[in-house]
Structure 1
Amino acid sequence: MKNINPTTKLGIWLIEEDEAFFREKVPLHRNVTHPHKRLQHLAGRFLLKYLFPDFPSHLVQIADTRKPYLPDEEYHFSISHCGDFAAAIVSKNYRVGIDIEIPDEKVKRIHQKFISDAEMEVLNPMHLEEYTQIWSAKETVFKWYSKGEVDFRQHIQLHKIVDHSCFRGFFTKNEYDLDIFIKQFSKLCLSYVFTPEIQM
């Protein structure tokens, strides 16, 4: 768990428990038939309450864009899962987005779909981890925006990386500058963003 600031927390969970462990603590909000996806779903919801014990899990709804949200926006939150990991970021005062990725060669093969020519020139990714970080950062911005209809090449522009831990970016749909934080673990890439609440 990481306390980003007094009202914003982030956590990553390695899923080693069975479904019963999570079902005792959080509700299953939708009909997920695949057992592992159901486990990921429950672990993500569990993390919300783990980070903020008073988080009202039972009030979570799903938007048309498939983003979970609270109707009264008492908390802003974002969830991601990949393999045996789940991650969540929750805030009372900041708009947030999060993504985790296990590096996969497919990301490198399809990079033209989400990295612009200008970004290739500036960022110059060479290794799978670097392509994964770019993909993850853009997924994070997509979740942060939450309205759908985002062209990863056109609308999310990454200008540079600072100290191997932060992408400086620009979201063209609402002309907003962003810092997208990244952390590379041995088998996992994490990215997240938090900004003051803004009108989308």
Structure 2
Amino acid sequence: MAIAYRQRIDDDTEFALWKIEEEANDLYNQLQLNENEKAYVEKLSNGKRHLHWLGTRVLLRKMLRTDEYIDCKVDNHGKPYLVNLPYHISLSHSFEYAAVMISKTHKVGIDIEQIKQKVERIASKFMRPEELAFINNRQKIEHLYVCWCAKEAIYKCNGEKEVSFADNIFLSPFNFEHHGILNANLHKNDVNLNYTVGYLQYQDYMIGYVKGDM
């Protein structure tokens, strides 16, 4: 399967989606992995987690347009980074899709989620009362998913653990559209960062994406 959707944010920043229709072996054969990575893949059960790991790496390879080995590691906070290539990256996945965002100049964050009713049950855990107040009841589920994806994308872009969606990431009121932007702020201790987050409803999935500081 080729790239299902691609969006350029600026000259140095873009994201893309890959619909995972291949078998695990087909994805595996498109990658170059070192011995540690091969051992990690072997430990994954043959299910969605296995396909998601392989799918994000195949998509990353396509976006970087290289057949060379890509040394992709995660730091102490769980944030992926490239050892020998000049790109910031963010990875996400949900059910049939893998998502990757890359930038040469800025930190990035992306999240993709399949839209399901369950988000309503947990809304109070990641939303503040003033944020719940601006949710459009006619499109409540979609509106809540934008909020979740936006906060998750900011969390990934910031790249630090111990950040609470409800207590540290604040969304300004916005009207839900199928493709739009919203303003947000991350505040914790001496960290105070403003973000403009893009979002997109793609079929029955919601995507949040953000470009941070350099």
Same fold by TM-score, threshold 0.5 exceeded?
A: yes
Instruction: Map 1:73-152 to 2 at 5 A.
Output: 74-121=86-133, 123-126=134-137, 127-152=140-165
TM-score (norm 1): 0.90
Counterpart Cα distance in 1 of 2:104 and 2:44: 28
1:21 corresponds to which of 26, 45, 70: 26
Structure 1 residue 57, shift from structure 2 partner: 5.3
Contact 1:26 1:46 in 2 (8 A): yes
| Mapped pair 1:64 → 2:69 | no
Counterpart Cα distance in 2 of 1:73 and 1:116: 39
Paired residue type of 2:135? N
Contact 1:115 1:153 in 2 (8 A): yes
Contact 2:99 2:111 in 1 (8 A): yes
Q: 1:169 — aligned with what?
A: 184
2:198 aligned counterpart, secondary structure = strand
Structure 1 residue 143, shift from structure 2 partner: 0.7
1:178 aligned counterpart, secondary structure = strand
| Mapped pair 1:10 → 2:10 | no
Q: 2:3 — aligned with what?
A: none
Counterpart Cα distance in 2 of 1:181 and 1:89: 12
Identity, % of aligned positions: 27
The CA deviation string for residues 58-102 of structure 1, in whole angstroms up to 9 with x for no partner, is: 311122332221245721000100001110001111110000011
With over 3 angstroms needed to count, the CA separation of the structure-2 counterparts of 1:105 and 1:70, relative to structure 1, is same
Counterpart Cα distance in 1 of 2:142 and 2:69: 34
Counterpart Cα distance in 1 of 2:69 and 2:115: 30
Counterpart Cα distance in 2 of 1:41 and 1:163: 31
Counterpart Cα distance in 2 of 1:117 and 1:56: 49
Paired residue type of 1:3? R
Counterpart Cα distance in 2 of 1:72 and 1:53: 15
Contact 1:48 1:57 in 2 (8 A): no
Contact 1:45 1:57 in 2 (8 A): no
With over 3 angstroms needed to count, the CA separation of the structure-2 counterparts of 1:125 and 1:109, relative to structure 1, is farther
Structure 1 residue 15, shift from structure 2 partner: 0.7
Unaligned runs of 5+ in 2: 1-5
Contact 2:71 2:84 in 1 (8 A): no
Q: 2:167 — aligned with what?
A: 154
With over 3 angstroms needed to count, the CA separation of the structure-2 counterparts of 1:27 and 1:65, relative to structure 1, is farther
Task: Provide the aligned length of Structure 1 versus Structure 2.
Answer: 196
Counterpart Cα distance in 1 of 2:197 and 2:69: 27
With over 3 angstroms needed to count, the CA separation of the structure-2 counterparts of 1:69 and 1:172, relative to structure 1, is same
| Mapped pair 1:185 → 2:205 | no
Contact 1:48 1:55 in 2 (8 A): no
Segments ≥4 residues shifted beyond 6 Å: none
CA RMSD between the two structures: 1.9
TM-score (norm 2): 0.84
Counterpart Cα distance in 1 of 2:20 and 2:132: 35
Contact 2:70 2:82 in 1 (8 A): no
Paired residue type of 1:87? A
Contact 2:61 2:70 in 1 (8 A): no
